[in-house]
Chains A and B, each alone.
Chain A
């Protein structure tokens, strides 16, 4: 039950890829952070809400064969670093594609999927995964 508030608090980021942009240096961060790790105190009060477009490309990826129990039904699956159009990188699953068809640079877009469930009677978690963009 302890994770309910933690997940709930992160819903804006998980549902709609809400990150932040440092108005001092222009860097984008996801998930949001209160202070820019580059500008430190100069970024105080300058971290602005930024909703990512959901578009990006595969920066690097791996094939997961030995999955976490929550992903048992989906294995083998692709876990990738996705470089968003805004520059920030996000780690996420790539779906709706055969593992052999995934390649570095492949254009992808965020979609909402079920991320997991807390047992048979607990809360369900939803959030972003990425699928190839239609060419």
Chain B
């Protein structure tokens, strides 16, 4: 049975910092760094924002756009590498906050930046098999880079939620195919109890991001029997602005196809939220018949690829009831590095 998206929602914190300001503190030309990475500013969570609040806001945005009864949601999965609790699921709080509890299953996922898309695939299986009517897949993060590390210029916060159902529902987009490519590649990791992640520098490029994204994207197009020009919108994982542009070219896509799904230049890398926010941004402006290719990448490493077709229902759901991704991108306030350090817990406080 065909599965797909019934509704969607998104959330991006309002605070931003610019690479030039980060570089100013560490004695680096941050502006040049930002240009090289194609990141102009990145979102920063306020001290009272975390993966739980972002997931809840995205899920509520999703529920605003649908008539679906929350009590018919059979599962909620939240993918993130920054769950506020090591033990105590984010998904339980989301379930309670959208009044889907208690008759459902819930779990938190972790796979670097692709835990949210793993949640989509699990949801497809659960609704497609008839085990439940709806399942919610959320990707959200408030990731951190070590002070002065290259990651500090990009690690941002945000998330998106998708309500997954079958063709029996009014799907706004059908998921035609999905394919995953997974290997044991140590390009980026964070050991238990460590505050900041570590990475393999240039090793994160060719053997990790590019190999997985391009292989998954090309294999998916073979499965779907499609060509690059068949897609109206392409969303690739976006650790910075540069990588998805280069991977897109390698797969035969134009920058026009990447335009609406590439948010990192304006908000930074939202990790598990990245491609899901890109998809929400595309769904904000999508028209019936639009074909979408989405490829997530998670370090460690793996890629989940999706081939979607937008249906006539996209014009019928009240998209305006939620906040558009563009509105959230444009509504921001800048902070300096000292405020950023305070907000992100980088200042050692008295107990």
Residues of A within 8 A of B (CB): 11-12, 15-16, 73-74, 95-96, 98, 111-115, 124, 126, 129, 134
Contact = CB atoms under 8 A, between A and B. Distances in A.
B232 to A, nearest CB: 28
Given A16-B97, A113-B53, A124 B85 contact: yes
Given A73-B342, A73-B343, A134-B327, A114 B50 contact: yes
Contacts of A134: 323, 327, 331
B53 A112 contact: yes
B14 interface: yes
Contacts of A124: 50, 52, 84-85
A115 B84 contact: no
Interface residues of B, number: 23
Secondary structure at the A interface, as helix, strand, loop or mixed, is: mixed
Contacts of B331: 134
Smallest CB-CB A-B distances: 6 pairs: A73-B47, A113-B48, A114-B48, A112-B56, A15-B97, A112-B53
B57 A112 contact: yes
Nearest to A18: B99
Contacts, number: 50
Interface of B: 14, 46-50, 52-53, 56-57, 60, 84-85, 93, 96-97, 99, 323, 327, 331, 333, 342-343
A73 B339 CA distance: 9
A76 to B, nearest CB: 13
A126 B323 contact: no
Contacts of B96: 11-12, 15
A15 B48 CA distance: 15
A111 B9 CA distance: 14
Nearest to A51: B99
Specify which of A16, A111, A114 lies most central, judged by the most chain B CB atoms within 10 Å of its CB.
A114
B49 to A, nearest CB: 7
A126 B53 contact: yes
